Amino acid sequence: MTGDWSVYILRCADGSLYTGVARDLQRRLLQHNGQLAGGPRYTSGRRPVQLLWSAAAPDRSAAQQREAAIKKLDRSAKLRLVDQ
């Protein structure tokens, strides 16, 4: 299936950064913050989370490739991306 996907970076309550992909970003944010079931373990203990950055991707594959590239960046590079 193709559709609009998003790649995003969150700031967790402990200051850590989390990068992920989602088809419905608003729904995924609710999951990350515990308002809907299905959030990842990483953010469940670091709530609340705040969306810092997101970008559209044409399909899941492109979104996951961008996510993987972002996850390879160090923290300062991720923050520079957010500031752009």
pLDDT score recorded for residue 1: 46
Q: What tens digit of pLDDT does each residue of 50-69 get?
A: 999 999 999 999 999 999 99
Instruction: Identify the bridge partners of residue 8 per DSSP, sorted by sequence position.
Output: 20, 54
Provide the domain limits for residue 18.
Answer: 5-83
Task: Please give the model's pTM, rounded to 2 decimal places.
Answer: 0.93
Nearest to 61 by CA among 53, 72, 69: 69
- Structural domain count, the chain: 1
CATH of the domain at 54: 3.40.1440.10
Q: What tens digit of pLDDT does each residue of 4-25 get?
A: 999 999 999 999 999 999 999 9
**CA quadruple 9, 12, 14, 18: dihedral sign:** negative
